[in-house]
Structure 1
Amino acid sequence: MNQETWSRRRVLGALATGVAGGVAGCSFGAPENEAPETSRDPIATIDGTFDSYAANGDSTADGSTYTRVYNRVSPSVAAVRVRQELGSTASGTAWVYDDSHLVTNEHVVSGAAEVSVWFDGTGWQDAEVVATDVYSDLAVLRVEDRPESAGALPLVQWEPPTGTQVIALGNPFGLSGSVSAGIISGQNRTLPAGTASNDFSIPDAVQTDAAVNPGNSGGPLVTLDGQVAGVVNSGGGDNIGFAISAAMVRRVVPALIQDGEYDHSYMGVRLTGVTPPIAEANDLPISWGVYIASVVDGGPSDGVLQGSTGQTTLDGQRIETGGDVVYRMGGADIPTQQALSSYLALETSPGDTIDVAVIRDGRRQTVQLTLGERPPP
């Protein structure tokens, strides 16, 4: 084993030891103690230099495309240090959303007694937690002093296609000012929403192969034209990381700023995807959709949708039968649970009445469902 290999292994081993026991996407410890940087030229906003969703990393007179994006975006990315109520510390990342607010993950600041942020040019300063939402894993912070270079980062206006090149900026393992590159590997993923979320999930998440590790949480996943495609939520290993989509940010964050909370639509049902055994056991004319396993008593779907009425055995497996199969909502096809969750999250609000097309007892029919508000976590 040569000296270089030995040194690299010692460094990686030390980093791994330093984050043992951390929650997914969070790291313990603060960024390296650097003097505030004041020599960087102020760049307040992305100026449109790059083509939308540019897909090249070719070198230019100003360095690689990645270097140019990093230099423009990084002043708007802050390290986050959290002192928790039980006395431990954790760290993550945040980015500038508008003139007064930063966005990060809810799980970064959960249980915080004190939150501080670090910008190049200002050093550590106190931050106020404006509001959090466990169901989307988003949180909003407010700080008094931002450097002139820390301009608001724009959100993508539409979903970047799979294969779009992106970079992730943040503070993995407490190493401030880090960047990694990759692509958008997939769309419309479903993520767990944390232990306090009543077993609900986060829809419409973005998958990436850009390296994200503990400490990246809350940082921006940006396209090569400097627009935020998502807020890094989790990752580390196997070239798979996830981010809360820009579409979710656009829905949730303004409500957190204005109202201090965001109300999620609620059906009051237990769902499962239509699998081949469910399709066979229920003699369905289609092999896709979402099966209603049960309906919450007194919930919005009580008396509107039908849950399982029995069971049967198929190849030794107990299969629920008699429940509605949802295949369309409000004019949108619903082939999977992910599609249903994304439709509710991005297209509806509590109090909306929507048409729900179902297969019930072998026949197609449409019912009207008035959505409720998801229970508090």
Structure 2
Amino acid sequence: MPSRQRPCSRRRMLALALGTSGLIGGTTVTGATRSVSSSEIGGGETNGSIQNDDVDSDGYAAVYEETIDDVVLVAIRGSNDDPGGLGSGFVLENGFVVTNHHVAGDADGVEVQFRDEQWRTGTVVGSDRHSDLAVVEIDDLPEIVSGLSLWEAEPVIGSEVLALGNPLGLDASISQGIVSGIDRSLPSPTGFSIPAAIQTDAPVNPGNSGGPLVTLEGEVLGVVFAGLGQTIGFAISALLADRVVPALIGDGAYDHPYLGVGVLPVGPQVATANDLEEPRGVLITDVEPGGPADGVLESATERETIDGDSVRAGGDVIVAIDGHDIPNEEILSSTLALETSPGETIEIDVVRDGERGTLEVTLSSRPDVDTP
């Protein structure tokens, strides 16, 4: 998918002025220790992938000083049934605070602390379980705040990033790493995955959730989701946040596009069973009755024995959507999430019975789900 260009902002000018700096290991600047309540498992320290004997941390320090005043600690009031907890967030240029749904989405009261130790009370104006994003409104922002902007281009694997937030309750912390992978699918209690996620080796721990993963130009590349240990952390992409957050601010909710199919990756055996030239695309295994794809796309209802294994066969294999190649399930989810909308009619290229053709499907809004 093509990248989108954006004008040169103040922070992009900062990065251009700094030039290229060497890599250092995960550097942490910490303040007072606070207690933490979180379910994530944090990753460990790691070095960047490029080594430089003349390590210069001035570049990281400059980005930190330019952005940290817009990073906040989000404290959730406890109750008899819910102990509350701490997380992170950041202020956008429009003055709203972005964090995770799992940090603040269902909270009646949100307390936000800024770097200068000032506290403010915030109200959740919108929250979305499917993307794990929430938006908090604060009436009286401190003067130190200027606001961060969301990066509008695709993340580049290998590019340097900084994770800012409050790991383990240690406020105003920074850790460094790279973009390790893109188009990851993250687990969600809704039953739908969170698409287009960013993988990073920047150390993130309980308390980092909701904080920004920023570029060396000081713009938000992603919203930290969780760390899974072994130098693997994840962030919700700014590209997805750029679609969801404005809707949360304006309407309190976001409608995700819904195709209504279940799919299976196409490996060599599935490719053989379905007369495909190469193992690429996704095989439709289920079509939701009454859903957008019902009566248009066909699911695999047959079985073929390939190398002694029973393999699904006979349905449609999705290989492209609106001209975007679909090599796997992750790209299918990312393409639907970032390139389509409910009510839009899309062209889907499928292989059926060994023949390639194009079908049209009008997407609907993702159905409501019951979640804890």
Pairwise CA distance, 1:188: 1.2
Pairwise CA distance, 1:53: 10
Which amino acid in structure 1 is aligned with residue 59 of structure 2?
A: T
1:216 lines up with 2:208 in the alignment: yes
Secondary structure, aligned partner of 1:112: coil
Pairwise CA distance, 1:75: 0.3
Give the match for residue 48 of structure 1: 13
Which amino acid in structure 1 is aligned with residue 244 of structure 2?
A: V
1:313 lines up with 2:305 in the alignment: yes
Which amino acid in structure 1 is aligned with residue 72 of structure 2?
A: A
- Change in Cα spacing, 1:285 to 1:328, as seen in structure 2 (3 Å) is same
Deviates more, 1:48-57 or 1:202-211: 48-57
Give the match for residue 39 of structure 1: none
Assess if the C-alpha contact under 8 Å between 2:155 and 2:182 holds in 1: no
1:252 lines up with 2:244 in the alignment: yes
Pairwise CA distance, 1:316: 4.2
Pairwise CA distance, 1:167: 0.7
Pairwise CA distance, 1:302: 0.4
2:17 and 2:286 map into 1 onto residues whose CA distance is 45
Which amino acid in structure 2 is aligned with residue 125 of structure 1?
A: R
1:222 and 1:76 map into 2 onto residues whose CA distance is 12
**4+ runs of 1 displaced by more than 6 Å?**
none
Give the match for residue 168 of structure 1: 163
Give the match for residue 331 of structure 1: 323
Assess if the C-alpha contact under 8 Å between 1:52 and 1:225 holds in 2: no
Select 1:190's aligned residue among 182, 185, 190: 185
Identity across the alignment (%) = 48
- Change in Cα spacing, 1:55 to 1:189, as seen in structure 2 (3 Å) is farther
Pairwise CA distance, 1:354: 1.0
1:179 lines up with 2:160 in the alignment: no
Give the match for residue 79 of structure 1: 73
Within 5 Å, give how 1:134-173 maps onto structure 2.
Answer: 134-173=129-168
Pairwise CA distance, 1:84: 4.7
2:364 and 2:261 map into 1 onto residues whose CA distance is 11
Assess if the C-alpha contact under 8 Å between 2:159 and 2:178 holds in 1: yes
Deviates more, 1:312-321 or 1:274-283: 312-321
Secondary structure, aligned partner of 1:248: helix
Give the match for residue 110 of structure 2: 115
Assess if the C-alpha contact under 8 Å between 1:52 and 1:224 holds in 2: no
Secondary structure, aligned partner of 2:67: helix
Secondary structure, aligned partner of 1:271: strand
RMSD: 2.1
Which amino acid in structure 2 is aligned with residue 216 of structure 1?
A: N
1:66 lines up with 2:31 in the alignment: no
- Change in Cα spacing, 1:52 to 1:347, as seen in structure 2 (3 Å) is farther
1:363 lines up with 2:326 in the alignment: no
1:55 and 1:232 map into 2 onto residues whose CA distance is 24
1:295 lines up with 2:260 in the alignment: no
Cα-to-partner distance string for 1:25-63 (whole Å, 9 max, x where unaligned):
xxxxxxxxxxxxxxxxxxxx7372212996424899x96
Cα-to-partner distance string for 1:210-262 (whole Å, 9 max, x where unaligned):
00000000000111110111100011421111111110111110111111111
1:90 lines up with 2:85 in the alignment: yes
- Change in Cα spacing, 1:294 to 1:87, as seen in structure 2 (3 Å) is closer
Deviates more, 1:63-72 or 1:217-226: 63-72
Select 2:273's aligned residue among 273, 281, 302: 281
Unaligned runs of 5+ in 2: 1-9, 25-53
Pairwise CA distance, 1:320: 1.3
Deviates more, 1:138-147 or 1:295-304: 138-147
Which amino acid in structure 2 is aligned with residue 244 of structure 1?
A: I
Unaligned runs of 5+ in 1: 1-44
